[in-house]
């Protein structure tokens, strides 16, 4: 005699088992990361990265901003696995070809860091760890907090160009979409508001600004600030190849600090995705708190960056250590 089964209960059990296995894989991968991961295999690895970041900053100050942006764009797309660094070759289509990568630069200097590591410890330190640790050291060069980071990430053997646009929020996306995207990788509302504070450094090309200026000025923009932006971006159709941009923060343009939030409260948010933080009831209280307390902002920024840097890493034999960050290894 057949024993009756409850199909609904069985399907629920299967679903929860799938979730359990997925989360166990996620957390086991994170557990494979460690502080001082290269202590024995390449003891000077982190110091070499730090010195190269300092040297490059002294020659090209904007490299520090690039390292921070690299971390966001790499870790938001599937995994912190240096897929962002791959160039188009063979079956690989570079993520750098995506519109979301517009304005990204200084990739060539990643090779400078990698070459210094290869000279000391050939094929030992992954490009994914270079992305994470260079961002950590770049944040310090930009006046941000020192963040303890684990290492041990491996490099991907492929890229995800087709998925970039759906995984990296755009400059005019809604707050709810941005929150959902970061929540999907384990970063809460408070952490997301802090991470957007990275917009306190660097610059934005006019192509990403003119929608707030033409044909009419966005009413949420401070009128005087809007006139300044029109001076930087005088036409509604700027040439993407021209050097037309505005600084994210005019007061301290190369320092990661809470002027970003003070500017938002004064209706001087550069991008729509920034200014919307002040009108959403979930994010507005954190904007006010971070505007009032730079130490609080730095503590939340450090917490969120660490979470971001450990998003679904490849570890063990899930990936490789590339010889050249631009290309997968030849088998």
CA angle 214, 220, 222 (to 5 degrees): 85
Grouping H, G, I as helix, E, B as strand and the rest as coil, residue 245 is: strand
The number of helices, as runs of H, and strands, as runs of E, in the chain is 13, 2
C-alpha to C-alpha distance for 286 and 230, rounded to whole angstroms: 30
Instruction: For residue 73, indicate whether it is catalytic.
Output: yes
Beta strands, E only, 233-299: 245-247
The encoded tokens of residue 328 equal 């997968």
Q: H or E element: which one contains 108? A: helix 108-120
Output the CA–CA distances (angstroms, integers) from residue 261 to 170, 240, 268, 284, 286, in the order listed: 19, 28, 9, 10, 9
**Catalytically annotated residue among 25, 73, 205, 298:** 73
**CA quadruple 73, 69, 133, 63: dihedral, nearest 10:** 140
Write out the catalytic residue numbers: 73
């Amino acid at each position: 005699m057949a024993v009756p089964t409850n199909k609904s209960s069985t399907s629920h059990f299967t679903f929860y088992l799938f979730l359990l296995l997925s989360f166990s894989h996620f957390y086991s991968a994170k557990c494979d990361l460690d502080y001082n991961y290269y202590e024995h295999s390449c003891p000077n690895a982190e110091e070499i990265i730090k010195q190269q970041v300092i040297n490059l900053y002294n020659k090209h100050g904007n490299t520090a901003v690039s390292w921070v942006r690299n971390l966001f764009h790499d870790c938001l797309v599937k995994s912190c696995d240096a897929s962002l660094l791959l160039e188009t070759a063979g079956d690989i289509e570079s993520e750098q070809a995506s519109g979301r990568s517009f304005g990204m630069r200084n990739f060539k200097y990643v090779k400078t860091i990698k070459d210094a590591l290869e000279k000391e410890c050939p094929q030992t330190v992954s490009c994914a760890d270079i992305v994470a640790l260079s961002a950590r050291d770049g944040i310090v060069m930009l006046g941000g907090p020192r963040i303890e980071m684990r290492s041990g990430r491996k490099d991907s053997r492929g890229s995800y160009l087709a998925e970039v646009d759906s995984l990296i929020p755009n400059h005019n996306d809604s707050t709810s979409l941005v929150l959902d995207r970061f929540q999907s990788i384990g970063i809460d509302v408070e952490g997301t508001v802090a991470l957007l504070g990275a917009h306190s450094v660097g610059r934005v090309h006019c192509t990403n600004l003119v929608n707030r200026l033409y044909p009419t000025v966005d009413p949420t923009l401070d009128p005087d600030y809007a006139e300044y932006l029109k001076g930087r971006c005088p036409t509604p159709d700027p040439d993407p190849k021209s050097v037309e941009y505005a600084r994210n923060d005019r007061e301290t343009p190369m320092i990661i600090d809470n002027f970003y939030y003070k500017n938002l409260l004064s209706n001087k948010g550069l991008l729509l995705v920034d200014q919307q933080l002040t009108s959403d009831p979930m994010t507005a209280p954190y904007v006010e708190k971070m505007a009032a307390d730079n130490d609080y902002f730095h503590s939340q920024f450090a917490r969120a960056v660490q979470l971001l840097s450990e998003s679904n890493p490849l570890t063990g034999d899930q990936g490789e250590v590339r010889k050249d960050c631009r290309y997968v290894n030849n088998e």
